[in-house]
């Protein structure tokens, strides 16, 4: 591994160290509480946000700005309207805390349900998710494809 790459990786790990674990990773700013499950689906939720340290400063990303989350070894990349933020939190925790907002499309990816437009079959046989707000097209695994298609059908035909 190149020395420069190793040094940058160490800086990243230093930035993501234990400093942010003293505070919750996300919070409900407008209500002052952390009760995320008290709101029925479709109800107006408080502005939830994800917090992480980047270059020594705390960054806050509103969940409304998040497009999708992808796992990269130990960290999760939060892809949002303004870029990517690296957080030290598992996809399972995000999926457990926000089941009405996030949909699993792969073992290493969750998408915001509101951002999922559809799926697209590739010439090589893989299936990609079409997301509003970004050009990225994360892979949808065969294991999760049926659930994704069912959810898209349910959203298109809410009465059935």
Does residue 18 register a pLDDT over 70? Answer: no
Domain range list for the chain: 3-114
| pLDDT, the chain, mean | 79
Residue 37 has pLDDT above 80, yes or no: no
Which two tokens mark 99? Answer: 């089941």
Contact 115, 133 (CB under 8 A): yes
The confidence score (pLDDT) of residue 11 equals: 45
| Per-residue pLDDT band at 38 (split at 50, 70, 90) | very low
Could you tell me what percent of the chain has a pLDDT over 70?
70
DSSP 16: T
pLDDT tens digits, one per residue of 102-156: 999 999 999 999 999 999 999 999 999 999 999 999 999 999 999 999 999 999 9
Whether residue 27 is predicted with pLDDT greater than 60 in this model: the reply is: no
Question: If we measure between CA atoms, which residue out of 54, 46, 55 comes closest to residue 27?
Answer: 46
Higher pLDDT residue, 55 or 27? 55
- % the chain with pLDDT above 90: 57
Quote the strand ranges of 16-132, DSSP E: 26-28, 48-54, 57-62, 66-72, 75-80, 83-87, 102-106, 109-112, 116-121, 127-131
User: Residue 155 in 3-state DSSP?
Assistant: helix
**Which of 53, 44, 64, 58 has the alpha carbon at shortest distance from 114?**
64
In this prediction, residue 159 carries a pLDDT of: 77
CATH 2.40.50.40 fits 3-114, yes or no: yes
Residue 28 has pLDDT above 60, yes or no: no
pLDDT at residue 43 greater than cutoff 70: no
Per-residue pLDDT at 93: 93
Band (73; pLDDT cuts 50, 70, 90): confident
**What average pLDDT does this structure show over 33-42?**
42
């Amino acid at each position: 591994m190149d020395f420069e790459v190793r040094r940058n990786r160490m800086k990243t790990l230093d930035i993501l160290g234990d400093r942010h674990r003293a505070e919750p990773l996300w919070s409900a700013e407008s209500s002052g509480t952390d009760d995320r499950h008290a709101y029925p689906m479709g109800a107006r939720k408080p502005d939830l946000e994800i917090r992480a340290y980047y270059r020594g400063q705390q960054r806050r990303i509103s969940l409304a700005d998040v497009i999708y989350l992808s796992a990269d070894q130990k960290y999760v990349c939060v892809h949002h309207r303004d870029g990517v933020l690296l957080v030290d939190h598992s996809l399972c925790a995000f999926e457990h805390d926000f089941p009405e907002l996030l949909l699993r499309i792969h073992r290493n990816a969750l998408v915001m349900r509101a951002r999922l437009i559809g799926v697209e079959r590739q010439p090589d046989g893989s299936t990609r998710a079409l997301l509003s707000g970004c050009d990225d097209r994360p892979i949808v695994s065969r294991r999760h494809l049926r659930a994704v298609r069912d959810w898209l059908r349910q959203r298109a035909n809410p009465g059935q």
